[in-house]
Amino acid sequence: MAATLQQLATAGLDDFYRGDLARSLARDLAAAGSAVTADDLRNHRAGWRKPLALAHSQGTAYNLPPPTQGVVSLMILGILDVLDIGATERDSADYVHLCVEAVKQAFAIRDRHVTDPAYMSEDAQGFLARSQLEALAARVDRRKAAPFGAGKGPADTIWMGVIDGAGRAVSFIQSLYHEYGSGIVLRESGINWQNRGCSFSLDERALNVLRPGRKPFHTLNPALALLGNGTTMVYGNMGGDGQPQTQSAVFTRCAIFGMSPQAAIAAPRWLLGRTWGQTTDTLKLESRFAPAVIDELRARGHDVEVLGAFDEAVGHAGAILRDANGMLQGGTDPRSDGGVAAW
């Protein structure tokens, strides 16, 4: 791996796709039985994409378009805005219930529509129209949990964010998907190969059916928001289906309830469905929620499972806020080994 990084530093990053390293990758992938060839690597090109934008009462929130689930994260925030989440008591049963029910509505859209944009029949930005969000919010019962099917599964992912002194901001995410990705370490390069292709289906009727050159659906969606008070916010987390859920917690706690990013991230969280190391589709709550909140969520029909006080199952989050006068605040997750640095 060290030699591979040195090769990229010496030969240039394009070597990964069209140089000696690319040829090495192709040889090892062929030996592992992969369908990815040297031509596939050679023909790959990164591209600029217009981000999705949500007009929110607190400003504008941005995320990535399909084949990511960025539209899901923005839909959740939009539905909660329509439901006036700020009128609830922070971390109350009402707050968690509405957040979870918004997730169910957004996931239903995701599972019906989100795939490689070249194969989508709907424009993802259209799902963020106020009329669409109002229609989804109208389906939320404030006193009763809606049924929930199944999640998309695990992830092995990291998020990073940076804001410089001039206010330039980056929200970045990287992932192998499942724990250790495909579990294949390429012999010549030492690269641990990812397995995002497992979101494809061999069922010809499936939304994400496998096709040559088609991009797989994936869960990665680093977030950024420009708030009306002049604050820039970069935030994100790992955790597959947990990514949009934790984003809703961090965003609402910071932008609506006025918490610092560190307090927002450290506060007790929830997870609906599965993520890395989990096999059940329950509503998972960290044990630091008040017992009365847990009991009330059960009474509303949620299949509640109580986790540890600071449980990795709810993901590893991070955030940086830069306010209008240039002051920076950062938050890192006590559930992980991340950190905040300034220089």
* Separation of alpha carbons 104 and 106, rounded Å: 6
* Separation of alpha carbons 292 and 298, rounded Å: 10
Helix (H, G, I), strand (E, B) or coil at 175: strand
Helix (H, G, I), strand (E, B) or coil at 79: helix
* Separation of alpha carbons 226 and 246, rounded Å: 18
Q: Are residues 17 and 125 in the same domain?
A: no
* Separation of alpha carbons 292 and 51, rounded Å: 40
> Looking at the domain assignment, is residue 191 inside a domain?
no
Q: Are residues 228 and 310 in the same domain?
A: yes
> Looking at the domain assignment, is residue 82 inside a domain?
yes
Q: Are residues 322 and 258 in the same domain?
A: yes
Q: Are residues 19 and 93 in the same domain?
A: no
* Separation of alpha carbons 103 and 136, rounded Å: 11
Helix (H, G, I), strand (E, B) or coil at 294: helix
> Looking at the domain assignment, is residue 337 inside a domain?
no
Q: State the pLDDT at residue 149.
A: 73
> Looking at the domain assignment, is residue 244 inside a domain?
yes
* Separation of alpha carbons 333 and 39, rounded Å: 41
- Amino acid residing at 36: V
To the query of whether residue 279 is one of the catalytic residues in this protein, the response is no
Last residue of a domain, one of 28, 47, 66: 47
Q: Are residues 2 and 62 in the same domain?
A: no
Nearest CA among 202, 201, 236 for reference residue 219: 236
- Beta strand segments in the chain, E: 52-56, 59-63, 156-163, 169-177, 184-185, 192-193, 223-227, 232-237, 270-272, 283-286, 304-307, 317-322, 328-332
Last residue of a domain, one of 13, 31, 47: 47
Q: State the pLDDT at residue 150.
A: 64
Q: CATH number, domain at 116?
A: 1.10.246.130
Tokens (6 digits) for 309: 């006080």
Q: Are residues 13 and 139 in the same domain?
A: no
CB 322 within 8 A of CB 244: no
Structural domain total, the chain: 2
> Looking at the domain assignment, is residue 107 inside a domain?
yes
**Strands 184-185 and 59-63, how do they pair?**
unpaired
Q: Are residues 61 and 28 in the same domain?
A: no
DSSP designation for 312: G
**Strands 283-286 and 304-307, how do they pair?**
parallel
CB 305 within 8 A of CB 216: no
Q: Are residues 73 and 31 in the same domain?
A: no
> Looking at the domain assignment, is residue 172 inside a domain?
no
pTM of the model: 0.93
Q: Are residues 14 and 69 in the same domain?
A: no
Q: Are residues 18 and 62 in the same domain?
A: no
> 322 pairs with which residues across the strands?
232, 328
> Looking at the domain assignment, is residue 206 inside a domain?
no
Crossing angle of helices 2-11/20-31, nearest 10°? 140
Say which of 157, 219, 231, 332 is annotated catalytic. 157
DSSP designation for 185: E
> 233 pairs with which residues across the strands?
225, 321
Q: What is the domain range of residue 143?
A: 52-155+217-332
Cα torsion through 49, 176, 78, 228, rounded to 10: -70
Burial tier of 101 (Cβ tally within 10 Å: 0-12, 13-18, 19+): buried
Q: Are residues 16 and 82 in the same domain?
A: no
Q: Are residues 6 and 151 in the same domain?
A: no
> Looking at the domain assignment, is residue 148 inside a domain?
yes
**Strands 328-332 and 317-322, how do they pair?**
antiparallel
Spell out the per-residue pLDDT of the chain, length 343, in tens.
999 999 999 999 999 999 999 999 999 999 999 989 999 999 999 889 999 999 999 999 999 999 999 999 999 999 999 999 999 999 999 999 999 999 999 999 999 999 999 999 999 999 999 999 999 999 999 999 999 976 655 557 889 999 999 999 999 999 888 888 899 999 999 999 999 888 999 999 999 999 988 999 998 999 999 999 999 999 999 888 899 999 999 999 999 999 999 999 999 999 999 776 666 889 999 999 999 999 999 999 999 999 999 999 999 999 999 999 999 999 999 999 999 999 8
